[in-house]
Amino acid sequence: MKTLKILKMEANDKTDSNNRFMIHNRTRINDCRIITLKRHHHANGNLTAVNNGVDLPFNIQRTFYIYDVPGGAERGGHSHYTCHEFIIAISGSFDVTIDDGHDRFTYTLNRPYQGLLVVPGIWRTLQNFSSGSVCLALASHHFDEEDYVREYETFCRLKQTDDGNQ
């Protein structure tokens, strides 16, 4: 089994800004991956569980879901300084494009027992939502607007410098 290298930060860590920039600069799309969760098959329906601290390389601090996305709309369009996310298509399907400022790759998520681990410093965009699809996101941190990079140009500058400063 391949070992996953994770730049791990605990949810209550107060990271200084230089460390945040370093983490953002060093991650690549190869640090992201599909994780398949254990399935329990039953005649009356299947069950998949996510066990905190066991199934993912982070402790879950926040859960949110996205649904009723209009045709042609995109979600995401940001990166995080410190937050890891695990993105699952609970129902239906959608694409997740990840971008590290050098390379891009698009995953199609369509199985409720598989998800995409997105590490800090990776730009993500969700698109091509099927009708009735539901996206579940499990996050390593509570919502913090200061953890977001929402402008792609800023993201690219962060990826090109060693310390986030030019």
Residue 51 lies in a domain: yes
- Give dist(CA 107, CA 62) in Å, integer: 23
> Is 102 annotated as catalytic?
no
pLDDT tens per residue across span 67-97:
999 999 999 999 999 999 999 999 999 999 9
- pLDDT at residue number 105: 98
- pTM value is 0.85
Q: What is the pLDDT of residue 10?
A: 38
Any idea what the CATH number is for the domain that residue 153 is in? 2.60.120.10
Q: In the prediction, which pLDDT does 94 show?
A: 98
Residue 36 lies in a domain: yes
Contact 113, 72 (CB under 8 A): no
What is the extent of the structural domain holding 62? 31-160
Q: Is residue 5 part of a domain?
A: no
Q: Is the pLDDT of residue 166 over 90?
A: no
Q: Is residue 22 part of a domain?
A: no
Kindly name the residue from 40, 78, 80, 102 that is annotated as catalytic.
78
pLDDT digits (tens, 9 = 90+) for 26-53: 899 999 999 999 999 999 999 999 999 8
> Mean pLDDT in the chain?
87
Q: Residue 17's pLDDT is what?
A: 56
Checking if the pLDDT of 142 tops 60, the result is: yes
Q: Is residue 15 part of a domain?
A: no
How far is the C-alpha of 60 from the C-alpha of 64, rounded, in Å? Answer: 11
Q: Is residue 25 assigned to a domain?
A: no
Residues in Cβ contact with 55 at an 8 Å cutoff, skipping those fewer than 6 apart = 35, 37, 38, 49
Side-chain half-sphere of 90: how many Cα atoms within 13 Å? 16
With respect to residue 128, please indicate whether it lies within any of the assigned structural domains.
yes
Q: What is the total count of domains within the chain? A: 1
DSSP for 117-141?
Answer: EE-TT-EEEEE-PPTT-EEEEEESS
pLDDT digits (tens, 9 = 90+) for 110-140: 999 999 999 999 999 999 999 999 999 999 9
